[in-house]
Chains A and B, each alone.
Chain A
Amino acid sequence: MKKILAESALIIIVSILLGCMVNIIRPHGIPFVGDWRNISAKDSENGYISVDTAHSLWSNRQATFVDARSDSDFAQGRIPGALNIPRGNENMYFPILRGTTGFDATIVVYCSSETCDDSIVVAEYLKRQGYTSINLYKGGIVKWIEKGYPLEK
């Protein structure tokens, strides 16, 4: 039995080393410690907007949309023109937003649905970076699709 436990321990150690090594080498490795602390919606100081307001801002090109979902979900469908800043990997994707917008730009952050809190976390991150006009579109991509608004893939 001791030998089985020793083999198991060795397998776990090799897995840790392999996982860490690949994550460091790969171009899209994730941080070893990500900010996954739950943030309650009522703690957010940002304003919420409805799907119609979001659509209005989008159609009038009055805001830059930020998609807080993972890059794989983003690739499957997003609000047209949205930039992807996935929760947990904000530092890597933030430069794209920073390169195209000033700190006074109107930003609308969304994720998958009303129950998703990724948009809150990314909005808080953007606020810490210096953006002053951040709106949370709470309905997410689900509500956008339900309304029949256009989608980009």
Chain B
Amino acid sequence: MDRERVPAGEMKNFKFAVYWFLRLFLGLVFIYASIHKITDPLGFAKIVHNFQLAPWYMVNFTAIVMPYLELLCGILLISGIFRLGALFTIEFLLAFFSVLIAVNIARGLDFTCGCFSNSTEKTVLDIPAVTLLRDIAMFLMGLYLFKLEKPYFEKHYKPVLQQDNTARDFTHTV
């Protein structure tokens, strides 16, 4: 597995610090968010049901799988293994939930996010609009992280054009 560090020469020190902050922050948020869902799958299933996220026959399956998806993405993003795939999945989840929350707000649905707790009692952080803003903010963080990963992406994921404009087979480690 390729866990190559981004060479310090490719970006300035500040950007490097921002890069690592974003990677650790997003990774740890997703790991933390998965814990209560793993320990109380039935409680999370109730949240999924109230969210009207899935048809009734898919509620339990969603509640069983989603926490492990979050946990795995968080671990992979931090460790660097398949980190672009993990980041892409995180971005997809954040975009999906942002749209879902926005739709539910527009429908006037009373729901709790269930992001960091299975309790149906609401705190300030569970107000749907606050949840939406939080998810959009994390989505934007992920987009910027993708931008910072561009050198790594171009080196390992894209074919490099030689001077005669012939595409060279790109080499990458699995």
Contacts and interface: CB of A to CB of B under 8 A. Distances in A.
A33 B60 contact: yes
Of residues A11, A73, A86, A115, which shows the largest number of chain B Cβ atoms within 10 Å of its Cβ?
A11
Nearest to B86: A11
Q: Which 8 pairs between the two chains have the least Cβ-Cβ distance?
A: A7-B85, A15-B69, A36-B56, A19-B65, A34-B60, A19-B68, A70-B43, A7-B82
Interface stretch (A22-30, A100-108, A131-139, A144-152): A22-30
Interface of B: 38, 40-43, 45-46, 49, 56-57, 59-61, 63-69, 72-73, 76, 82, 84-86, 88-89, 92, 110, 118-120, 157, 172
Contact of A112 (B76, B84, B120): B120
Interface of A: 1, 3-8, 10-12, 14-16, 18-20, 22-23, 28-38, 70-73, 86-89, 112, 115, 118
10 contacts: A8-B92, A12-B89, A15-B65, A15-B68, A30-B64, A32-B60, A33-B61, A36-B45, A86-B42, A112-B120
Contacts of B76: 11
A19 B114 CA distance: 18
Contact of B49 (A6, A31, A36): A36
Nearest to A20: B64
A70 B47 CA distance: 11
A51 to B, nearest CB: 20
Given A4-B85, A36-B56, 16 more contacts: A3-B172, A4-B84, A5-B85, A7-B86, A8-B86, A8-B88, A11-B73, A29-B41, A32-B60, A34-B45, A70-B118, A71-B40, A71-B43, A72-B119, A86-B42, A88-B46
Given A7-B85, A11-B82, A70 B67 contact: no
Counting chain B CB atoms within 10 Å of each CB, the highest count among A1, A7, A112 belongs to A7
B157 A3 contact: yes
A118 B49 CA distance: 11
A152 B64 CA distance: 30
A9 B57 CA distance: 23
Nearest to A26: B41
A23 B64 contact: yes
A36 B62 CA distance: 13
A103 to B, nearest CB: 26
Nearest to A2: B157
